[in-house]
Amino acid sequence: MNPSLRTGFTFGLTSGIITTVGLIVGLHSGTHSKLAVIGGVLTIAIADAFSDALGIHISEESECQHTGKEIWGSTISTFLSKFVFALIFIVPVLLFNRFSVAIVVSVTVGLLMLGILSFMIAREQKAEPWRVISEHLGIALLVIVLTHYVGDWIYATFS
């Protein structure tokens, strides 16, 4: 894969998973509202995808090492991967009647996709897969736990 497209894809996929799963878990804990979760995911898919794409665009420009085509490749692949991977998490919320099941499925799917990406990165770098996977999933789990407890705190404090 073209390095510019790879940069955007891996960044968008990772950010899409961690941001969206964190948002889902936090909103679920804090509101217990499917509507809030769906609205939050759509907001992430649009606003955060544009934000991340612009961030990659400016970061690549500031390096003064990339052509315009490379910069736009990273920008567009960041937007599309973040947008698509964020939207994937609406599917379980719409499919499952039990909201708690949808949350568990979303977290599981997110961790599985991040684990697969981490394995592919480790293999390409000739690194020990368990180290790379553990590092990446550990950070994702930290986000999930923190957003859950922040949501619980918000619910207990303001409801």
Domain boundaries, the chain: 3-158
Dump pLDDT digits (tens) for 66-108. 999 999 999 999 999 999 999 999 999 999 999 999 999 999 9
The whole-angstrom separation of Cα 13 and Cα 116 is 11
The pLDDT averaged over each successive group of 10 residues in the chain (159 residues) is 91 96 97 96 97 96 95 97 96 95 97 98 96 98 98 96
Q: What confidence score (pLDDT) does residue 1 get?
A: 79
pTM for this entry: 0.94
Q: Across the chain, what does the average pLDDT equal?
A: 96
The whole-angstrom separation of Cα 81 and Cα 132 is 21
Total H helices, total E strands in the chain: 7, 0
The whole-angstrom separation of Cα 45 and Cα 115 is 21
